[in-house]
Amino acid sequence: MRYYDENTGFYFDVKEDHAVISDASKDVINAAIPDTYNDLPVTGISKKAFLGCKQLKTLTIPESIQTIGDWGFAGCDQLKDVFMKPRQILFGKGVFERDKKLRRIQIEGKNEDTSYLLASAVKVMEADYFLENEDVGSIQWYKKWDQKLENILNLKDDEGYHLYVLCGEEDLHFDYEQYLEYNKKKKAGLAQLRLICNEYISDDLSDRLKNYIMEHSIGCESRAAWDHVIEEHGDDLRYYELLVTLGAIDRSNLETALELMGDRHAQARAFLLNFFNQDNEGLDYFDDLLL
């Protein structure tokens, strides 16, 4: 039997001993999946149940959930934060596909850095298998994440271009040069995130990521590292702190950086101006990166 719950905006398919969410109202904003419905455990989220819920911003998944079907939360343009219990869930394919603003997948008991890296693995690396790792947040998990990052860095910037031309996403329209820059920004963004969320990072990888950022900063042939921050992170000061600490923004290119920002990102502009006005030479927050 199928039932609609007005309080949540969810449709439930009720079985003999459990219930499954099969659909949802498209105007749902904060989805807190209940662990029971009519005294039955809610054990699953069906294929495409929340597909295209374009106002959905936060999602909370309870411990009762065992399966999430293909594209269960795909195409949720505003989805930023997902909260889960530390249990194994069988995920279908593309569960969070095309969720462009996804920034955190927080598993209870895991640190904040892990939540950002997990979301990036799904959104940017397109590596959904990280969701099903029982060792999320462990040294082994970080090593797997770093190996995936290394694989991406080793790809040529035009890797897959011909396939893109044939089967490109409908909302991405790149010529060859734009495609190259898109991939450089992808690599720069992953490099920046890993240096910010730097637990268990090796010295070799850290050095490689720093060099990549410096080679794609303002004044270089490609300024992908800077463009990624402006386009994706706005006033998230961690990214500006990183660029300043590495020397990717210094007095020689500060004026250009401010011009490129225009009237946007008032907090970031204020941070940069205050930093250089105080003659700071570094930030304690990133001291370990300078060793």
pLDDT of residue 284: 52
Please say if the pLDDT value at position 282 is more than 50.
no
Residues whose CB falls within 8 Å of the CB of residue 120, separated by 6 or more in sequence, listed in order: 190, 193
**257 touches 272 (CB < 8 A):** yes
**88 touches 51 (CB < 8 A):** no
Residue type, 148: K
Q: What are the DSSP calls for 62-96, one per residue?
A: -TT--EE-TTTTTT-TT--EEEE-SS--EE-TTTT
d(CA 263, CA 283): 25
34 sits in the region (left: phi over 0; alpha: psi -120 to 50; else beta) called: beta
SS3 98: coil
Q: Which of 7-11, 171-175, 221-225 has the least mean pLDDT? A: 171-175
Please, is 60 exposed, middle or buried when counting C-beta atoms within 10 Å of its C-beta (0-12, 13-18, 19+)?
A: middle
Residues whose CB falls within 8 Å of the CB of residue 77, separated by 6 or more in sequence, listed in order: 54, 98, 99, 100, 101
Q: What is the torsion angle, in degrees rounded to the nearest 10, for the CA atoms of residue 93, residue 96, residue 98 and residue 101?
A: -160
Q: What is the torsion angle, in degrees rounded to the nearest 10, for the CA atoms of residue 212, residue 214, residue 217 and residue 219?
A: -130
SS3 58: strand
Of 93, 75, 92, 73, nearest in space to 83 by CA: 73
Q: Tokens 């079907």 label which residue?
A: 69
Beta bridge mates, 138 = none
Q: What is the pLDDT of residues 66-109, one digit of tens each?
A: 999 999 999 999 999 999 988 889 999 999 999 999 999 999 99
pTM score of the predicted model: 0.90
pLDDT band of 111, cuts 50, 70, 90: very high
d(CA 142, CA 18): 36
Q: Which residue has the higher pLDDT, 96 or 286?
A: 96
Q: What is the pLDDT of residues 166-208, one digit of tens each?
A: 775 556 678 899 999 999 999 999 999 999 999 999 999 999 9
SS3 249: coil
d(CA 198, CA 256): 29
DSSP state of 281: -
Question: How many DSSP H helices and E strands does the chain contain?
Answer: 9, 11
pLDDT of residue 164: 72
**286 touches 242 (CB < 8 A):** yes
pLDDT of residue 105: 97
